[in-house]
Homo-oligomer: A and B are copies of this chain.
Amino acid sequence: MRQRAGAGEELSLTLERLLRLIRELSTSGALSPTASTVLARLGGSGPMRLTELARITGVTQPAMTQLVGRMERDGLVTREVTKGDRRGVLVGLSEQGAAVLAARRAERATALDDLLGRLDPDDQVAIAGALPALGRLVDSITAE
C-alpha cells in the first residue's frame, strides 16, 4: 500500500479532533494559541526580534506589538532595544515565562503519555512509529 485515496481527508479530520484535545491538556498560564507559539519559539531559539516573531507566528507586526505588550505586562517576556540598530526590539523569555513553558509541556506530556498508555499495545506502536513520518510531513512544508 503506497497511498490510499482519501488519506488526507482522514488525517485532516483526525487532527482536527486531536487539536482541540491537546489544547485542553495544557492550561498553565491560560495562553492564547499565538502566545503559546511565541513562548515555545523563544524557549527553543532564544531571544528574537519582534518582526521575526510576527513572521514566524503568522500575525502582523502591530498584532505582535500588542501581544508582546500583554505578555510583558503579565511577566512572561522581556523587551530590550537591539544592539547596533536602535529601531529593533529584542524579545526574550522571562524566568516566569520559562517556568510556564515548562509547566505546559509537562502537562501535555504526562497527559498524553497517560492516554497512550491506555491504548492497545499495537496502537501504541503504530503511533510511535508514525511520529517521525509526521515530523517530516511538517518539515516538507516549513522548509519551503
Binding site for B on A (CB under 8 A): 1-12, 14-22, 24-26, 36-37, 40, 58, 105, 108-138, 140-142
Q: Is there an interface contact between A116 and B131, defined as CB atoms closer than 8 Å?
A: no
Known A3-B117, A130-B127, A131-B7; contact A12-B137, beta-carbon cutoff 8 A: no
Shortest distance from the beta carbon of A108 to any chain B beta carbon, whole Å: 4
Task: Indicate how many identical chains form the complex.
Answer: 2
Bound state CA distance, A10 and B105, in angstroms?
A: 10
Residue A3 contacts which of B20, B113, B133, B134 (CB distance < 8 angstroms)? B113
Question: Which B residues are CB-close (under 8 A) to A5?
Answer: 113
Q: Which chain B residues border A40 with CB–CB below 8 Å?
A: 16
Bound: A107/B104 CA distance, A: 32
Q: Indicate if the CB atoms of B142 and A119 lie closer than 8 Å.
A: no
User: Cβ of A142: which chain B residues have Cβ within 8 Å of it?
Assistant: 17, 21
